[in-house]
């Protein structure tokens, strides 16, 4: 099990993009209204991934603490900005340190305690592991914050009534807080329940294609999924908490 993954040729990639063009044509024929979004996403994905591959080769070659931390910081800023844009919560500061700290601490624990790498900031491990942790947290936080704020707007009268009966901030919105947190956790819980039967996730598949022993790949997959679940719960809970404080302050000012 030492052979690396077989490379995909330029011709094969061209064929793949032709298939993508066919998919775009089908979207247009069905009038789904997402053709522009699909094309834009395809172009952005291709550009970002190929650019990222060249950057990662450079970072892996240098592999110093400061270059790894710099790139990690850039990742956390982009992830935080994405959460803000997708959840439409406005300009808030608290998301940046939460995403940075939770992703950094859990990646550090994964590196040092779970994997036991000789160098905790080894770029090949730290950047890839933190990317998986941060990416899942980003998606979960965006979904949870968007749902939470929409629930607050739709239930303004109910919250106002609860406050009039002397409810605390959390008591007034606890049902919406828990619903948002549940929505953030469900994707990772669903994946954990079906992994190995319905699908083989990216990390495990990538390691097997790269020549790793399947048992080793399974151990890594279990470790990363548990770590992701912790990251999703902690980062989403903290973001919801601080968002709740800001939202309820605006709410009380409007009473």
Instruction: Answer yes or no: do 33 and 128 share one domain.
Output: no
Instruction: Answer yes or no: do 74 and 58 share one domain.
Output: no
Q: What residues make up the domain containing 22? A: 1-62
**Of the candidates 12, 44, 62, which is a domain's last residue?**
62
Instruction: Answer yes or no: do 56 and 67 share one domain.
Output: no
Model confidence band, residue 107 (pLDDT cutoffs 50, 70, 90): very high
Model confidence band, residue 182 (pLDDT cutoffs 50, 70, 90): very high
Contacts of 204 (CB under 8 A, 6+ apart): 214, 217, 218, 220, 221
Q: What is the mean pLDDT of residues 127-151?
A: 94
Residue 4: predicted pLDDT:
63
Instruction: Answer yes or no: do 99 and 224 share one domain.
Output: yes
**Of the candidates 18, 36, 62, which is a domain's last residue?**
62
Do 243 and 145 contact (CB within 8 A), yes or no? Answer: yes
Comparing 158-162, 203-207, 221-225, the range with the smallest average pLDDT is 203-207
Instruction: Answer yes or no: do 5 and 26 share one domain.
Output: yes
Structure tokens of 84? Answer: 């803000």
Instruction: Answer yes or no: do 114 and 39 share one domain.
Output: no
Instruction: Answer yes or no: do 81 and 111 share one domain.
Output: yes
Q: Which of 187, 224, 208 is nearest to 3 (CA)?
A: 208
Instruction: Answer yes or no: do 116 and 200 share one domain.
Output: yes
Instruction: Answer yes or no: do 5 and 68 share one domain.
Output: no
- 171: alpha, beta or left? (left if phi > 0; alpha if psi -120 to 50): alpha
Q: What percent of the residues of the chain are helix, what percent strand, and what percent coil, each to the nearest 5?
A: 80, 0, 20
Instruction: Answer yes or no: do 88 and 152 share one domain.
Output: yes
Instruction: Answer yes or no: do 206 and 223 share one domain.
Output: yes
Question: What total number of domains does the chain contain?
Answer: 2
Q: Examine the pLDDT at 254 and tell me if it is beyond 60.
A: no
Please state, in angstroms and rounded to a whole number, the distance separating the CA atoms of residues 17 and 24: 10
pLDDT in tens, 57-94: 999 999 999 999 999 999 999 999 999 998 888 878 99
Give the Å distances, CA to CA, from 253 to 5, 29, 97, 147, 160. 59, 49, 27, 22, 12
**Of the candidates 46, 62, 78, which is a domain's last residue?**
62
Q: What is the mean pLDDT of residues 216-238?
A: 93
Do 27 and 35 contact (CB within 8 A), yes or no? Answer: yes
Contacts of 130 (CB under 8 A, 6+ apart): 72, 75, 103, 104, 107
Both ends of the chain: CA-CA distance in Å?
66
Residue 140: predicted pLDDT:
95
Instruction: Answer yes or no: do 191 and 220 share one domain.
Output: yes
């Amino acid at each position: 099990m030492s052979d690396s993954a077989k490379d995909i040729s330029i011709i094969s990639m061209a064929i793949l993009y032709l298939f993508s063009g066919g998919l775009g044509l089908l979207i247009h024929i069905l009038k789904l209204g997402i053709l522009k979004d699909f094309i834009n996403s395809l172009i952005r994905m291709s550009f970002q991934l190929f650019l990222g591959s060249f950057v990662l080769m450079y970072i892996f070659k240098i592999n110093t603490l400061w270059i790894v931390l710099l790139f990690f910081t850039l990742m956390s800023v982009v992830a935080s900005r994405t959460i803000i844009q997708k959840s439409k919560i406005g300009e808030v500061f608290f998301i940046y340190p939460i995403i940075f700290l939770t992703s950094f601490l859990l990646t550090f624990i994964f590196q040092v305690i779970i994997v036991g790498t000789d160098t905790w900031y080894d770029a090949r491990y730290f950047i890839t592991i933190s990317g998986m942790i941060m990416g899942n947290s980003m998606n979960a936080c965006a979904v949870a914050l968007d749902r939470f704020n929409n629930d607050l707007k739709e239930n303004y009268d109910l919250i106002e009534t609860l406050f009039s009966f002397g409810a605390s901030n959390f008591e007034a919105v606890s049902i919406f807080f828990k619903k948002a947190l549940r929505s953030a956790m469900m994707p990772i819980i669903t994946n954990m329940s079906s992994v190995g039967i319905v699908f083989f996730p990216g990390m495990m598949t990538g390691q097997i294609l790269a020549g790793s022993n399947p048992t080793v790949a399974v151990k890594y997959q279990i470790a990363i999924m548990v770590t992701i679940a912790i990251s999703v719960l902690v980062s989403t809970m903290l973001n919801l908490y601080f968002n709740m404080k800001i939202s309820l302050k605006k709410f009380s000012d409007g009473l």
